[in-house]
Structure 1
Amino acid sequence: MFIPLYILIPVLILAAFALAERILLPGLRVVVRRKVRRLVDDLNERLRLRLQPFKLTRKRIVEQMLVHDPEVAQAAKEYREAKGLTWDEVTNLVRAYAREIVPRFNVYLYYRPSHWVARHIARFLYRVRVSFLDTRAVAAVDTESSIIFVMNHRSNFDYLLVGYIVARISAVSYAVGEWARVWPLDTLIRRMGGYFVRRNASDPLYRKVLERYVQLSTESGVTQGIFPEGRLTRDGRLQEPRLGLLNYVLKRFDPAGPRDLIFVPVGLNYDRVFEDRTQTFAIAGTRPRASAMGAAAVTLRFVGKNLWLLVRGRLHRFGVACVNFGVPLSIKKYIEGLGKDFRWMPPDEYRAEVLRLGTVLMAEIARAVPVTPVSLVSRVLLRLANGAVAEEDLEAEVGREIAGLQERGATLSHPRSPAAKLVKLGVRMLVLRRLVTRTEAGLLVHPDERVLLAYYANSIAHLLEG
C-alpha cells in the first residue's frame, strides 16, 4: 500500500515528537536531576555556607507561597477595597508581582559556565585583589546564620566581581535594579538567583509581595547581596543609604530564633569604572541622558574599540579591582546591646532605629573601601595641579598621603608597595586614558578631565575627611 509523502512526513514528525516527549525527555530529565543533585551535594561539602533548600525550591512553588501568604492576602484584601477591584483581578496582580520578583535559580549555570566566565572576565580586565579588615572575625561567622553582604555601588561590574569572589563561600542572591530587565540579561540574572526591585515603587501590594519574598529568603538562610545606596554613585562619593530592603529583613527578625542575621560590609574600588564618563556627564550636565539605543551604541563602540586594541596587542588591563571585607555585624548582638526588639518598637522609633543601623552599616562599608593607585594619584594631582607637576613632587606627596591613610586604618590595594610604585601604576593608567599628559616640565592634567579625576579621588575622600 502506497502512502503519499505529504501524509508520511507529518506522521513521522509527530511520531518523533511523541517518542521524544514520552521516552527521551523523561529520561533526560532524570539524568539532569541526578547530575544537579550530585553537584549540590558536592558544593555543600566544599562551601562554607550551604545552599539552602529555599534557594533550590522551584520558582512556581515559591510564587504559590507568596500568593497564599497570610500577610500578602491581608494586603490584597485592603488593596481590593481601596481600588474597587474583584478578587480575580487582585489575585492575578499578586501572581504577576510574584512572577516578576521570584528568581529561577539554576545551580549548574551558577557554578559551572557562569562562574568560569566571571572568573576569566574579571582576571582578564583587572588585577583582582581581595583583603579583609579582620580575617578572624570573618572566619568566625556562624555558617548557620543568614548572611547579607552589604556593599558600596561603584559599577554594574560589582555584581560579577563580588559574585565571582563570594562563590568560593556560597551562592549570592542579589537585589537588582530595573536597568537589567532587558532580554536576555534578565533571564540570566534570574537563573543566577537575582531578583528585581522596582525603584521608588509606590504600589503597596507590590511592596508587600517583595517584602515577604525578602523575609522568606532571609528566614531560610539564603545568602544575599544588597547595595544600600540603591544606585551607582554619580560623583564617586558614597551616598546616603536607602532603607527599604534593610527595613524588610529587620521587621520580622526574632533575636531568640535559631538563626542569627549577620551583615558583612564589603568595600569595592576600581582603577577604572566602565560607567565613569556616563556618571560624570550626568553631574556636569554636558550631555543629555542617552536613550536605550544610544546606551547600547556607546557600549558596542567601547567593546569594539577594546577588541581592536586586543587584536593589535595593545590592550592593557584596567588596573586593579579591589574587594575588601569588613568586620561582620551580628544583629542578635546588636539588639542585645540596644536592649530592644525591632518587632515591638512603635513605628516612629522603629524607623529611627533602622536609619541608625543603616548609618552604622554605611560607616562600616566606608571604612572598608580600599585605596587604589588611580584614586590616590588623582586626589594628589588635583591638589597640586595648578600647572605641571614633577613626578618627584607627586611621589613625595603621595607618600605623605599614604602615611595619613595608614594612620586612619585604611586598606591599600598594594599595602607593601612603596609610594613610587603606586605613583607609577596610577600615572600609567591616567596617561593611557589621556586624562594626564606627560611633558618635559612634568604631568599636566587635561582641563576637561578634572571632573573625571575628581570622580576617582572622591572614592577615598571620606577616609581622609572628618
Structure 2
Amino acid sequence: MAGPRGGRRGWLVLVVLLFGGVLAAGRLVPAVRWYFRQRAARVVEEVRRRGIELPTFKLTRRGTLIHRLTHDPELIEAAEVYARENDISMAVAMARVERYGREIVPSFNAFLYFRVGIPLAAWISRSLYDIRVGPQRGLAVLDENAYEDASVVFVMNHRSNIDYVLLAHLMAHRTALSYAAGEWAHAWPLGRLIGGMGAFFVRRGSGDDLYRRVLERFVQMAVEGGLTQVFFPEGGLSRDGKLREPKVGLLDYMLRHFDPEAGDILFVPVGVNYDWALEDHSLLQPGGPEAGIRGRGGPFASAAGSMVRNLLLARRGGGFRLGAAAVGFGAPLSAREYAASRGVAFGELEREARIEEVKVLARLLMLTINDSIPPVAVPLVARALIEAPETTVPKNSLLSRARSLSQSKAPLDYEAALRTLVMRRLVLAESGEYRPAPGGEKLLAYYANSAHS
C-alpha cells in the first residue's frame, strides 16, 4: 500500500529539485554575466591597443539605452499623441514604448563579437569563397583622414545573407559593425547571438506609428553616438539580380534631425557580387523566400533549404567552394558636403519635402554602390550567353564575349565559371558549343542581371 505515498514523495522530491534548480540558476546567471562582462572589458582594451576605437554608445549597457529611449522627450510626446488617438492610457502607451525599445536595442558584447563572431565570419567566408577586394577608394579616404565628428555608415547592395558576414570579416581590423536585422533574426537562439554582436532588430513594413518613432529615435541616437553601421538601401535581397529601388525609411531617420554643425555622416558605398549566391533558389521561387518550403517555415526555412541544396551540389563538384565573392568600396559621400552643395537643410524641411530630398540622395547612393561592384566571372559568362544572338555559342567565342563585358583588368577565371554553370545544369554543353539549359533560364538570367560591366 506504499504506492500512493511513494508517488507523492516522488513528486515532492521533484518539486524540491526544481525549486533548488531555479534558486541555483538565479545565483548562477549573474555570475555568468559578470564573467562575460569581465572578458568583454579585456577584449575592449585589447582592440583599443590594436587601433580599433569603439564608441561609447556601442559600449553603453542595453538597459541604459532603453532608459534613455523611455525618457526621451520626443518619444514621451509621441506616446501622448498615440494614447489620445488610440483611446488608451498614457501608462499603456509608455509600456509599449519600453517593449519596443527592448525589442530594438541590442546588447553588444565585445567578447562575443571579436572572439566568436569575427572568427566565425572569417571561417565561413574563407571556406565558401575566394574573396576578392576590388576598388578600395572609400577605405583609402577613411585611412587618410581622421573624421572625429562623423558617423560612418556603409551603404551596401544586398545580394546574399552572407553580405554582412563577409563585410564584418573584411572590416574586423578596423571597426565593429552594427546593422538592422529583420524579424527572422529575432528567433531564439539567433536573437541572442545576433543582438550580442550589435545588430538591432527591425520590423519590416510595420504600420505601428509608435513603433516607427521608437526605431527612429534609436537610429538617430546611434548616429549621434558615432556608431558604425551597415545599411542596405534596397531593404531586402535582390530577387532578380538587379539592384532594387532604394527604400528611404532608415535613411530618413538618420537625416531628419541632421545638423551639419554638430557632426557629419559619411556614407561609404560598398558593392558586392558572387559567382554563386548561397540562397539563390529561394530568391527566385514563387512567393520569394517568404513562401518557405512547400508553404511552411517562412524565409528562414526557405533560405536554409536553398543553402543545403547548393552546398550538396558544390560538394558533388569536388568541395564546398562556391567561386569568388568580390567586394568593392567607393569614395565616401559626406552628408554635410552633400547638403551644402544642394542648399538643403534636412532638419528644417517638412516631411513631404524632406522625403523627396532623401529619395534623391538614396538614388545617388545606389549609383555609387553600382559603380563599386567588382566584376565576377559567372555573371559575365551568363550575360554573354544570354545576349548572344546565336542559339548555341562556341566556347572560345563565349569566353571572349565575357571578357569584353568586363572593364576591369582583374584576372577572372572564365573557364571555371563556365564549368560551374554546366555543373549546376544551367548551361548545356554539346559538341564544344553551349546554350542555356531548359528550366535553368530564370537562374541564369539572375546571374546575368547581376553582371557589372
- Distance in 2 of aligned mates of 1:110 and 1:261: 24
2:5 matched to which residue of 1? none
Contact 1:265 1:326 in 2 (8 A): yes
Contact 2:270 2:329 in 1 (8 A): yes
Q: Does 1:208 align with 2:213?
A: yes
Specify which of 105, 113, 116 is matched with residue 110 of structure 1: 113
- Distance in 1 of aligned mates of 2:437 and 2:172: 41
Contact 1:385 1:445 in 2 (8 A): no
CA-CA distance at 1:274 after TM superposition: 2.1
> CA 1:143/1:362 → structure 2, altered by over 3 Å: closer, same or farther?
same
Q: Does 1:369 align with 2:360?
A: no
Q: Does 1:433 align with 2:436?
A: no
> CA 1:316/1:88 → structure 2, altered by over 3 Å: closer, same or farther?
closer
> CA 1:304/1:197 → structure 2, altered by over 3 Å: closer, same or farther?
closer
- Distance in 1 of aligned mates of 2:257 and 2:48: 28
- Distance in 2 of aligned mates of 1:19 and 1:448: 59
- Distance in 2 of aligned mates of 1:395 and 1:307: 26
- Distance in 1 of aligned mates of 2:413 and 2:328: 18
Q: Does 1:423 align with 2:414?
A: yes
State the one-letter code of the partner of 1:317. R
Specify which of 74, 81, 85 is matched with residue 71 of structure 1: 74
Specify which of 167, 178, 202 is matched with residue 197 of structure 1: 202
With the length of structure 2 as denominator, give the TM-score of the two structures. Answer: 0.88
Q: Does 1:345 align with 2:336?
A: no
Q: Does 1:457 align with 2:448?
A: yes
> CA 1:207/1:298 → structure 2, altered by over 3 Å: closer, same or farther?
closer
2:233 matched to which residue of 1? 228
Residue by residue over 1:37-88, the C-alpha shift from the partner in whole angstroms, topping out at 9 and shown as x without a partner, is 221012123245x211111111111111111100000000000000110122
State the one-letter code of the partner of 1:92. A
Q: Over aligned residues, Cα RMSD in angstroms?
A: 3.1
- Distance in 2 of aligned mates of 1:300 and 1:317: 17
State the one-letter code of the partner of 1:69. D
Which range moved further: 66-75 or 293-302?
Answer: 293-302
> CA 1:453/1:313 → structure 2, altered by over 3 Å: closer, same or farther?
closer
Which range moved further: 299-308 or 110-119?
Answer: 299-308
Q: How does 1:34-49 map to 2 (within 5 A)?
A: 34-48=38-52
Q: Does 1:177 align with 2:186?
A: no
1:52 matched to which residue of 2? 55
CA-CA distance at 1:21 after TM superposition: 7.0
In the alignment, structure 1 segments of 5+ residues that lack a partner are 407-411
CA-CA distance at 1:306 after TM superposition: 6.6
> CA 1:424/1:210 → structure 2, altered by over 3 Å: closer, same or farther?
same
- Distance in 1 of aligned mates of 2:184 and 2:35: 36
- Distance in 2 of aligned mates of 1:20 and 1:288: 37
Q: Does 1:447 align with 2:438?
A: yes
Q: How does 1:15-414 map to 2 (within 5 A)?
A: 32-48=36-52, 50-134=53-137, 136-144=140-148, 145-257=150-262, 259-282=263-286, 290-293=294-297, 314-384=318-388, 386-402=390-406, 406=407, 412=408
- Distance in 1 of aligned mates of 2:17 and 2:191: 37
> CA 1:53/1:386 → structure 2, altered by over 3 Å: closer, same or farther?
same
Contact 1:138 1:327 in 2 (8 A): no
Residue by residue over 1:396-454, the C-alpha shift from the partner in whole angstroms, topping out at 9 and shown as x without a partner, is 2223223xxx2xxxxx4xx342xxx5321210211121111222141232022111111
> CA 1:9/1:343 → structure 2, altered by over 3 Å: closer, same or farther?
closer
Residue by residue over 1:76-129, the C-alpha shift from the partner in whole angstroms, topping out at 9 and shown as x without a partner, is 000000011012211211111111111111111110122111111111111111
Contact 1:271 1:374 in 2 (8 A): yes
> CA 1:44/1:290 → structure 2, altered by over 3 Å: closer, same or farther?
farther
2:3 matched to which residue of 1? none
Q: Number of paired residues?
A: 441
> CA 1:27/1:103 → structure 2, altered by over 3 Å: closer, same or farther?
closer
CA-CA distance at 1:33 after TM superposition: 3.5
State the one-letter code of the partner of 2:260. P
Contact 1:36 1:107 in 2 (8 A): yes
Q: Secondary structure at the match of 1:175?
A: strand
- Distance in 2 of aligned mates of 1:187 and 1:284: 27
> CA 1:281/1:300 → structure 2, altered by over 3 Å: closer, same or farther?
closer
With the length of structure 1 as denominator, give the TM-score of the two structures. Answer: 0.86
1:409 matched to which residue of 2? none
- Distance in 2 of aligned mates of 1:153 and 1:343: 29
Contact 2:269 2:365 in 1 (8 A): yes
Contact 1:126 1:317 in 2 (8 A): yes
Contact 1:309 1:315 in 2 (8 A): no
- Distance in 2 of aligned mates of 1:290 and 1:66: 41
Which range moved further: 176-185 or 314-323?
Answer: 176-185
